[in-house]
């Protein structure tokens, strides 16, 4: 009788030990995978920190230039208005930003800026565009710069000259793209 009871109890104990051994092995393998994953992430983070330390000068330049600055249409409009001095009039539209993905997994925010400028001379438009390209809070890419002579030269424009006012002899159409970095896809 004892042997008939001991045999099933012994089997239960052996099965329990084997089950515990198997679950412990699974837990150990899972813990090892998590540990290895954390080690890889730590190594990648250390490499990123080293990269940032080694390229701090370049990163500061990019930050100063505006690659990482958020696009704010109000600030962009204020900057455009600040540099309109050589022009008679400026009308502009800053379109909402769109996200463009590069092959490398980086995303760029792009907004189109469409400007129409009235000026006395073409050099006034060129000076305005140069000031914007150098002083805008971000990266501007000039897409189009078209100047045309105002076809409506009439007595009003000519009388403005006599009154020491600036007539609109030149009309400029300017299209720019405002670009800034968004980051890598896995950072979102």
- Give the pLDDT confidence score for residue 7 in this predicted structure: 74
> What's the pLDDT score for residue 3?
67
Is residue 165 classed as helix, strand or coil in its secondary structure? Answer: coil
97 shares its domain with 38: no
At 35, which helix (H) or strand (E)?
helix 2-54
Rounded to two decimals, the pTM is 0.61
pLDDT above 70 coverage of the chain, percent: 85
Altogether, the residues listed in the chain come to a count of 188
- Does residue 59 form part of some domain? no
Based on the number of CB atoms within 10 Å of its own CB, is 33 exposed (0-12), middle (13-18) or buried (19 or more)? exposed
Which pLDDT does position 186 carry in this prediction?
A: 45
| Stretch among 26-30, 59-63, 165-169 having the lowest mean pLDDT | 165-169
CATH number of the domain enclosing 108: 3.30.70
What was the pLDDT predicted at 104?
72
Residues 87, 180, single domain; the answer is yes
What is the DSSP-derived secondary structure letter of residue 121? S
Say if residue 28 is in the same domain as residue 73. no
Residue where a domain terminates, one of 30, 54, 78: 54
Tell me the pLDDT tens digit for each residue of 82-115: 888 888 889 999 999 888 887 777 788 889 999 9
| pLDDT (0 to 100) of residue 88 | 86
- Whether 104 and 128 map to the same domain: the answer is yes
In a domain, 168, yes or no: yes
**Predicted local confidence at residue 161, as pLDDT:** 65
pLDDT at 178 over 80: yes
Claim to verify: residue 49 and residue 89 sit in the same structural domain: no
Q: Residue for token digits 């958020």?
A: 70
Rounded to an integer, the average pLDDT of 118-124 is 89
Q: Do 31 and 74 fall within a single domain? A: no
Give the domain range for residue 14.
2-54
Give the DSSP H/E element, type plus range, for residue 109: strand 106-119
- Asked if residue 78 and residue 13 are part of one domain, the reply reads no
In a domain, 61, yes or no: no
User: Residue 159's pLDDT is what?
Assistant: 67
Number of structural domains the chain divides into: 2
| 7-39 confidence digits (pLDDT tens) | 777 778 888 888 888 999 999 999 999 999 999
Mean pLDDT in the chain? 83
End position of a domain, from candidates 12, 34, 54: 54
3-class DSSP state of 163: coil
């Amino acid at each position: 009788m004892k042997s008939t009871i001991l045999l099933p109890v012994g089997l239960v104990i052996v099965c329990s030990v084997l089950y515990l051994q198997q679950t412990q092995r699974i837990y150990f393998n899972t813990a090892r995978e998590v540990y290895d994953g954390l080690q890889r992430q730590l190594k990648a983070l250390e490499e990123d920190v080293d990269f940032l330390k080694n390229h701090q000068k370049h990163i500061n330049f990019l930050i100063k230039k505006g690659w990482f600055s958020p696009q704010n249409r109000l600030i962009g409009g204020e900057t455009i208005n600040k540099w309109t001095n050589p022009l008679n009039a400026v009308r502009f539209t800053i379109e909402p930003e769109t996200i463009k993905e590069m092959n490398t997994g980086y995303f760029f925010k792009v907004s189109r800026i469409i400007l129409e400028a009235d000026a006395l001379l073409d050099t006034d438009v060129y000076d305005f565009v140069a000031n914007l390209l150098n002083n805008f809070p971000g990266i501007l890419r000039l897409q189009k710069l078209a100047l045309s002579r105002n076809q409506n030269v009439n007595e009003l424009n000519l009388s403005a000259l006599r009154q020491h006012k600036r007539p609109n002899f030149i009309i400029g159409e300017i299209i720019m793209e405002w670009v800034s970095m968004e980051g890598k896809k896995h950072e979102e």
